[in-house]
Amino acid sequence: MKKGTIIGLSIAGLFVIIFLWGNGRYNSMVTSDEEVSQSWADVQSQYQRRADLIPNLVETVKGYATHESKTLTDVVEARAKATQVTVDPTNITPEKLAEYQAAQAQVGSAIGRLLVSVEAYPDLKANQNFKELQVQLEGTENRISVARDRYNAAVKGYNVMIRRFPANIIANMAGFDKKEKFEAKAGAENAPQVKF
């Protein structure tokens, strides 16, 4: 064989190897991007579950705590605002994520105030429907936490993948951008003060 033919085949082989490697990296990035989107959908699903439980909780409390109307109104209004804020999983910006987190934090705060006000109603605390709703709400809050953790883990994996060399070259060419993590709200590191 001629020297030129050997060099030509070597170069062609090198291009094939680079193409196959690039194709594999690209497909891995697509898969990781979809994992991030699915994880975000799981977060939204758990927040929706919480939003669905709130009307039942409010109605149960309403029968006992008639003069807690301000607290009940706050819960209903916070829920309404939170369900109006949506985030596109393919384009999660820090601003939209912060807006979403703020709306969900208002719901959590309103529910917390509602549950604190319940302490004044021993009959309500003994009500089986209320107990079940409280357990479901607690379970939902735990699910929200797990879903947020899974989302952050998926974002971390994705962000590491697209930033590592030489995969970052393919990520930049294909338009894979860094995703935003779900972060704790400001002041979350401080324990809440409960006053009766």
* SS (HEC) of the chain: CCHHHHHHHHHHHHHHHHHHHHHHHHHHHHHHHHHHHHHHHHHHHHHHHHHHHHHHHHHHHHHHCCCCHHHHHHHHHHHHHHHHCCCCCCCCCHHHHHHHHHHHHHHHHHHHHHHHHHHHCHHHHHCHHHHHHHHHHHHHHHHHHHHHHHHHHHHHHHHHHHHCCCHHHHHHHHCCCCCCCCCCCCCCCCCCCCCC
Residue 160: inside a domain: yes
Residue 195: inside a domain: no
Looking up residue 129, the CATH number of its domain turns out to be: 1.20.1440.20
Q: What angle do CA 102, 140, 93 make, to 5 degrees?
A: 35
CB 16 within 8 A of CB 106: no
Number of domains making up the chain:
1
pLDDT at 32 exceeding the cut of 80: yes
Residue 116 CA to residue 12 CA, distance in Å, equals 71
Residue 89: inside a domain: yes
Number of CB atoms found within 10 A of residue 114's CB: 20
The average confidence (pLDDT) of the chain is 79
Residue 139: inside a domain: yes
Residue 194: inside a domain: no
pLDDT at 67 exceeding the cut of 60: no
Amino acid making up residue 155:
V
Residue 73: inside a domain: yes
Number of CB atoms found within 10 A of residue 133's CB: 19
What would the pLDDT profile of 103-156 be if each residue is shown by its tens digit? Answer: 888 888 888 877 777 776 666 666 677 778 778 888 888 888 899 899 989 999
What would the pLDDT profile of 111-125 be if each residue is shown by its tens digit? Answer: 887 777 777 666 666
Q: What angle do CA 188, 41, 173 make, to 5 degrees?
A: 100
Residue 181: inside a domain: no
pTM for this predicted structure: 0.66
Q: Please report which confidence band the pLDDT of residue 181 belongs to, taking 50, 70 and 90 as the band edges.
A: confident
Q: What mean pLDDT do residues 4-20 have?
A: 79
Residue 142: inside a domain: yes
Among 24-33, 66-75, 93-102, the range with the most confident prediction by mean pLDDT is 24-33
Domain holding 145, by residue range, is 3-174
